Amino acid sequence: MSVVVNIKNKQKITYKNLVDRATKEVLYLGIYNECFCLDKYKGSTDIRNQPFILFSQKLFGRGFIFLLDDLYNIELTLNYPASIIDIIIFYKFIINLCNDFKIKNILVDGEKYNVLDIPKLQKTSTEFNKTIIHTNLKVGLTIFGCIYPIVLDEDLILKLRSNNIDKANNYFAKVLDKLQKPMYYYAKPLIYKVNKKYIARYALTKNVPTIFPKTTELPFGYDQKLKDKIMAWNVVIIDDSENKFTLVSEIPYQVFGEIINIKKRTNFDQEHKLITIDDSLLKKIKKYNIKAATEKLIVWLQDFRELGHRPARIKYTNEFITEDNIHCYIFKYKKTLFSKWYLGICSDSGVFSNFQEYHKNTELKDALNIIELLKTYWQKQVNKK
């Protein structure tokens, strides 16, 4: 449900013109990205056929859409349910635009009106919107806000229904503003094609508050047909300390949910939680990574072509990341209870041990030599193809 206003216009409007007008109206503007989150416009000065979102700088609601056609005719769209402020800025923008361009008539949902009729149209729109907010909204409905998509939850719907119509309208506006004012990152899956199937990755950065989905999902705007072709959903953890982006870990989505105890995290909306990767979570993730790397090395050692059985003892000792971003975990293990300690690694280049004796003072150098050996091996395999 929406109100669509069309204005015949012959004047050229550039991006600068739109920015200046938004500033004059005390509005922010931007565009939607692929998952309907606010993004900066990075295109040219010619803004025809590019939908823009304009919204109040004071109270974040849903805003309204501004669109120019090839002839610079203007289309403005207000979607319901709207925040109180959205309706106000929408009709105010139309009045000021018509006055500046000396336009007397507009089309509202295909019907012709005079600019003088706008206050009456605004009143009708406001009353209609109040009714929708008070009685028509349902749990699970996605509202495309000016900053993020918001999925309405049961608590919100109950409060809207239990209040009178005016209080419900005010409460709805406050909720939209409260959810969108903080600087959150909206976690969206990055899709990579592997042969004929796909891998989806959520990239999370340390110390960045993130809106994270309770279940794996393809947001609106994505090709939903891809979901059945996705073979794995992973979470990638990134540390950007010292202005250097470092890959900390890549974990299956379900495992990540268990590590962070996602059910107990604060709700953002019906389908998303708020999480922040901090040092305490990184410690849990590191513990998981070491355990997973340990199991990989044990499986490798058990192969009949290698040690041929499970090591009597195995211990994690260290880890490092090479200059070309290969993450390596170092282990020492015993073939038998009374044997010497031997060196083994689990890395992005592979799992390996050449059964050399482990020495603490040279473990990094020895592990790096194994990495170089593995890189040479894999390069030869590529060259054979």
pTM for this prediction: 0.82
Residue 156 pLDDT grade (very low, low, confident, very high; cuts 50, 70, 90): very high
Q: Residue 383 has what pLDDT? A: 67
Mean pLDDT of 188-216: 89
| Cβ-contact 153, 267 below 8 angstroms | yes
Number of residues that make up the chain: 385
Does pLDDT of 70 surpass 80? yes
Does pLDDT of 222 surpass 90? no
Mean pLDDT of 184-194: 89
| Cβ-contact 346, 322 below 8 angstroms | no
| Cβ-contact 147, 31 below 8 angstroms | no
Does pLDDT of 355 surpass 70? yes
Place of tokens 């007008």: 21
Cβ count within 10 A of residue 96: 13
pLDDT in tens, 111-126: 999 999 999 999 999 9
Q: What percent of the chain has pLDDT over 70?
A: 98
Does pLDDT of 382 surpass 70? no
Q: Which contacts qualify for 347-351: CB closer than 8 Å, 24 or more apart?
A: 347/371, 347/374, 349/374, 349/375, 349/378, 350/374, 350/378, 351/296, 351/297, 351/299, 351/300
Does pLDDT of 261 surpass 70? yes
Mean pLDDT of 357-373: 92
Omega before residue 81 within 30° of 0, cis: yes
Distances (CA, A) of 359 to 9, 343, 351, 364, 365: 79, 8, 19, 10, 10
Does pLDDT of 60 surpass 90? yes
Amino acid found at 65: I
pLDDT in tens, 231-259: 999 998 888 776 667 777 888 999 999 99
Q: Residue 350 has what pLDDT? A: 86
Residue 218 pLDDT grade (very low, low, confident, very high; cuts 50, 70, 90): confident
Mean pLDDT of 73-98: 95
The mean predicted confidence, pLDDT, of the chain is 90
Q: What order do you get walking across the sheet with 74-79 strand by strand?
A: 38-39, 27-32, 52-56, 64-68, 74-79, 2-7, 105-108, 111-114
Q: Residue 242 has what pLDDT? A: 65
What is the C-alpha to C-alpha distance for residues 370 and 345, in angstroms, rounded to an integer? 8
Mean pLDDT of 55-81: 94
Q: Residue 326 has what pLDDT? A: 85
Mean pLDDT of 167-176: 94
Q: What percent of the chain has pLDDT over 90?
A: 66
